[in-house]
Amino acid sequence: MLFESHCKLGKIQVDEAAIQVVAPFKKVIWSAPRNTVTRITQKPTASILMLDLTIHTTQGLYEVPSFIKRHLKKLLALFPDVEVVQVGQPGSEWYTDSSRLTYIGTYTDDNQLQREVESAALNGWFVQSTAGTGGHVNVGRTATVAALTGGVSLLFGASRSKDKITVTFGRTSEWIAQHR
């Protein structure tokens, strides 16, 4: 084994012939010949210690979620002639992508929605439409919490999922005129 590291699915392994992800109890989730790898895409995760990798091969795309970031250099050394692409770096948010003309985002956090609407407006976007979906009452969770608290929790309301707002953004006509 030339390389082995943990990921969300189990372990990513590289030997002389193959690259693969193996789940606990040696169950192979995916495997591809090592010489078919054409590109490795890395994307940051919510954790600064992890990356999501996509292994591009001539056979297809393979995911390596929550790969340990400090092991990346060792993995990439095994693929010296393979293109490495970084996505999701600061400054590459969807609203700075000049190839996009529309974007649909779903938000449960009002602050994130406000930040993205403001940033999008500064980059030539406008809100085309919005749609809201109210959260639903989770009966099982409400009943469980009520049973555990002797019903006192019912005074504070039922357990609900967050409301979702779906926003469709489009490019402004001014932006389109300047970038054609």
pLDDT in tens, 53-99: 999 999 999 999 999 999 999 999 999 999 888 876 554 577 877 77
67 and 104 belong to one structural domain: no
Q: Is the Cβ–Cβ distance between 74 and 117 less than 8 Å?
A: no
The whole-number pLDDT of residue 92 equals: 54
| pTM beyond cutoff 0.85 | no
> 13 is in which domain, residue-wise?
3-86
Q: How far is CA 145 from CA 136, 150, 155, 159, in A?
A: 16, 8, 12, 9
Q: Do 101 and 77 belong to one domain?
A: no
State which of 70, 86, 102 marks the end of a domain.
Answer: 86
Could you tell me if 163 and 114 lie in one domain? yes
Mean pLDDT, residues 112-130 taken together: 86
Strand order from edge to edge, sheet including 18-23:
3-7, 10-14, 18-23, 27-33
Residue at a domain's end among 53, 86, 119: 86
Where a domain ends, among 69, 86, 103?
A: 86
Tokens of 74: 């060792």
The helix/strand/coil state of 22 is strand
The size of the chain, in residues, is 180
Residues 136 and 67 in one domain: no
